[in-house]
């Protein structure tokens, strides 16, 4: 579903501004959440004691989304997807100063290896892909990592999932709406259908992924999430003529292996911490 959303974003990005596409995604997600909010008590479900962390999650999540959509518009789909896989590395790095976590030599080594994979993908001295858009996408991965930290922190503080998702949808809609005002382009009927598809596909994918992580072990679910690189590669080849180079493929393999190992070590660390607490 994420690959379908990426495909639709790329299709409409040649005629519609990125901010407008993000606005459609956030607004449709907010509309889809309305029945759930009503079931959870309406406006009472939005009550929160953590406005700071909601703000962090909203701004960082919005930054991650708009940079990813910008990447889909300017870079091959597979490379944007691959660079998004740097998020676990930045999450581990940011967890040290913000959450006070300790990172051992194994996870630190995996981060270093992961950045070697990033260099293989970017090939900064070969002009194989535009470097600035690629760095923007990497910055977006930093934003996503910060959003994940905010979500984790709010979960620890007892904030409800409904409030977390709803406030992000509200904030994202407002931010995207403000950015869209000066660049608004009235979409055609076909573009409107594509924008609705972006919103629905992204929302369904997010709900399915969240439910999968809630029900299953992260080490089992994550490898399936990484298969998105296969779908975006196939879409890029068949629809947009984007053929990945062998160097890029090697970088993706290194980056995926690094991310999976970091996740593996994180699961072990949490189990050990849980065992020590009993």
Q: What does pTM read for this prediction?
A: 0.88
Measured distance CA(87)–CA(114) in Å, rounded: 10
220-234 mean pLDDT: 81
Eight-class DSSP state of 275 = H
Q: Which residue has the higher pLDDT, 99 or 181?
A: 181
Tell the burial category of 203 from Cβ atoms under 10 Å away from its Cβ (0-12, 13-18, 19+).
buried
pLDDT at 212: 66
Whole-angstrom Cα distance, residue 36 to residue 31? 10
Residue 44: other Cβ atoms inside 10 A: 9
Contacts for 56 with CB less than 8 Å, ≥ 6 apart? 146, 147, 149, 150
Residue 154 banded pLDDT, cuts 50, 70, 90? confident
* Higher local confidence (pLDDT), 138 or 2: 138
């Amino acid at each position: 579903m994420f690959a379908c959303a990426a495909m639709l974003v790329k299709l409409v990005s040649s005629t519609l501004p990125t901010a407008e596409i993000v606005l459609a995604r956030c607004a449709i997600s907010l509309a889809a959440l309305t029945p759930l909010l009503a079931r959870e008590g309406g406006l009472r479900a939005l009550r929160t004691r953590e406005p700071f962390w909601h703000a962090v999650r909203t701004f960082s999540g919005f930054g991650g989304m708009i940079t990813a959509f910008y990447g889909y518009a300017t870079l091959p789909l597979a490379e944007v997807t691959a660079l998004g896989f740097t998020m676990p590395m930045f999450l581990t790095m940011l967890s040290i100063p913000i959450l006070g976590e300790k990172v051992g030599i194994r996870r630190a080594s995996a981060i270093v290896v992961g950045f070697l994979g990033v260099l293989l993908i970017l090939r900064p001295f070969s002009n194989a892909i535009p470097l600035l858009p690629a760095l923007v996408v990497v910055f977006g991965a930093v934003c996503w990592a910060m959003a994940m930290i905010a979500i984790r922190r709010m979960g620890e503080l007892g904030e409800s999932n409904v409030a977390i998702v709803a406030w992000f949808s509200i904030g994202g809609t407002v931010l995207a709406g403000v950015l869209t005002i000066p660049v608004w382009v009235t979409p055609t009927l076909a573009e409107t259908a594509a924008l609705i598809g972006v919103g629905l596909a992204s929302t369904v994918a997010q709900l399915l992924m969240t439910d999968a992580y809630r029900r299953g072990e992260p080490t089992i679910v994550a490898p399936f999430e990484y298969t998105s690189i296969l779908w975006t590669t196939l879409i890029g080849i068949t629809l947009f003529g984007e053929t990945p180079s062998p160097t890029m493929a090697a970088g993706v393999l290194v980056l995926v292996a690094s991310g999976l190992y970091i996740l593996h070590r994180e699961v072990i660390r949490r189990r050990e911490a849980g065992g020590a607490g009993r």
